[in-house]
A and B are shown apart, each in its own frame.
Chain A
């Protein structure tokens, strides 16, 4: 019970929290700064954001400290050695996946529409930029000269967003006639169709270059600076991600978010409340897809290569796993879920494999290649999903409802301009994690 006492003391004492979090950040920062090869130090520094999430500081403070860690400390600490770009690569991909998982969370978590083909929107964003930022567009565009310059990238973020949203609506119109399991099957089909179309659209007119993919996509350019390294893309992703988090947060507790949840909870009652069912669902599809579209553009520019194999069903499932693991409908949960799954995939499993390889090379133990952790990704996801379905169906950080302040609701207190609104139990704990 001592642990419990300790926890409650910490919970009650903000100064103590500040010391702990500060100390933690300093220590992990220093260890990453000094021990460049330590993946663990990198992960621990990232975990400071999780710690920050559980403190009882105001939202503003959390955002500021979280921003400091992400904008300054993390890149600075990682930049001292050869592994810099690979750390930033991981951080960038985590950011991309978080944005996508947040998009899927709107569709699945808030509106309750199971979408198994979500990666299609990511693919649409990638190809939108990929086609016009390579010479590919010359094959079918009657006017203009391609590739477009790297400066067009910034416009393409919005174009990718719009294209994905448009396809979200186009997909939604026929698909929303079906519900539940049927919807899942139809969206799964849609995801595969998009991938196969991209795979085969090299004849009669060569639009996507088929299975060969689009190579040497133009890197983004701003004021003459080319963005080529993950450490640069990291900041692009960070900015988009923060915008996405703000958007999701605001929508979640708005009229639109309530309509999504109402549709999820009970369609008939939602309609009886005057909610336009189709429009509400389409909006969920469009908004969710648009995040993916934006990140698709960034992904294409970062990889400088786009081909259909990046957009398979497994990708869709992985994003869904992030949402379920983190907690459906919970923004902090989904952020955490996406971070864990991505890091597990990209770093932990690869590191484990490397380590085991070294061990078997030095002859300590012999692990057959078939059992290498990097190949067990799906197996591990399967186990995670089963365990969560059994023991924690609401996810790591379950969704929270807003907690309203009674004083604010009573008319008599309306002359207190200081009471500015709800204390949202959920929003107090906004945290960044990328």
Chain B
């Protein structure tokens, strides 16, 4: 069953067509990779799905319900969470609080109940702290819980972004270059983590990634963008041998030699 369907999605910035007529279907519970050279429009695509940009035309359906026109926070409520290519943590607050911010929509405490410190708010906060800690354990960051987020090592920051996204209890998780800047060992751990999340948390994962080893290892479906257009899609094996893809990455000559 397809959980996310994209139809004829187009985004223009003035004369620049960042995404043009993209169609894709993401199966429930799958891991889908979106790849393509720099500037291919991958992040623009993510930004449209999460409501940061409004598409110029086209449709995005989550469980057959359109999410075009929703604000980012509404998209999050619908069950789509994301991480960012350029890390966007809440640097000056603690790691645990970063994850707790992700629970925002699942906490009921209002202005007055908070000021009066009602028992239910206290209880809810305590539960939230525990839940946040569990999520940190899940991604392997529990030892950092009291640190300021900006003091974490780079790889840990990327993982914290994932933990924070998980705290919103998403159905679909978009990872924008989760392995960027990681060393091979960290990338290996991340690969496992992504795989486990899908298995254990009943998630559908879409990821943008340049690390081809990671992409080929875990994705069931790959979509290739170039110059804003979808040039290919298929299983890792199909993509590996696709002429258009090789051409996009390595140029025409390379495609000729490969074939």
Contact = CB atoms under 8 A, between A and B. Distances in A.
A406 interface: yes
Interface string A226-265: 0000000000000000000011001100111011011011
A265 B150 CA distance: 11
B101 A275 contact: yes
B107 to A, nearest CB: 5
Interface in B116-148: 117, 121-122, 125-126, 128-130, 132-134, 145-146, 148
Given A254-B121, A273-B101, A409 B145 contact: yes
Contacts of A270: 90, 101
B81 A272 contact: yes
Interface stretch (A178-186, A362-370, A396-404): A396-404
A408 interface: yes
Given A258-B101, A274-B76, A247 B148 contact: no
Contacts of B130: 409-411, 414
Contacts of A141: none
Interface in B129-174: 129-130, 132-134, 145-146, 148, 164-165, 167-168
B73 A275 contact: yes
Given A254-B125, A256-B111, A401-B148, A273 B133 contact: no
Contacts of A410: 130, 133
Contacts, number: 128
Most chain B CB within a 10 A radius of its CB, from A265, A402, A409: A409
A408 B129 contact: yes
A288 B251 CA distance: 59
Interface string B81-106: 11010001111111011001110110
Contacts of B109: 254-256
Contact of A247 (B52, B115, B146): B115
A404 B84 contact: no
Given A258-B97, A274-B76, A404-B145, A250 B133 contact: no
B135 to A, nearest CB: 11
Given A274-B168, A403-B146, A421-B122, A268 B52 contact: yes
A124 B130 CA distance: 43
A404 B104 contact: no
A273 B97 contact: no
B94 A404 contact: yes
A178 B102 CA distance: 25
A272 B104 contact: no
B213 interface: no
A103 to B, nearest CB: 14
B201 to A, nearest CB: 17
Contacts of A27: none
A171 interface: no
A287 B126 CA distance: 25
A262 B167 CA distance: 15
B211 to A, nearest CB: 23
Given A271-B73, A402-B94, A404-B146, A409 B133 contact: yes
Question: How many interface residues does chain B have, given as a range?
Answer: 35 or more
Contacts of B93: 258, 261-262, 265, 401
Size bin of chain A's contact surface: 35 or more
Nearest to B78: A274
A274 B129 contact: no
Q: Which of B52, B90, B91 gathers most chain A CB within 10 Å?
A: B90
A127 B164 CA distance: 46
Contact of A250 (B72, B91, B115, B146): B115
A277 B71 CA distance: 10
Q: Which of B105, B114, B128, B167 neighbours the largest number of chain A CB atoms within 10 Å of its CB?
A: B114
B62 to A, nearest CB: 15
Contacts of B73: 271-277
18 contacts: A247-B115, A254-B109, A258-B101, A258-B104, A266-B91, A268-B84, A269-B84, A272-B84, A273-B73, A273-B164, A274-B104, A275-B104, A283-B111, A287-B111, A401-B97, A404-B129, A409-B132, A421-B126
Interface of A: 246-247, 250-251, 254-256, 258-259, 261-262, 264-266, 268-277, 283, 287, 401-404, 406, 408-411, 414, 421-422
Interface of B: 50, 52, 71-73, 76-77, 81-82, 84, 88-94, 96-97, 100-102, 104-105, 107, 109, 111, 114-115, 117, 121-122, 125-126, 128-130, 132-134, 145-146, 148, 164-165, 167-168
Given A264-B92, A265-B91, A274-B73, 11 more contacts: A251-B111, A255-B114, A255-B125, A255-B128, A258-B93, A265-B93, A266-B88, A269-B84, A270-B101, A272-B52, A274-B102
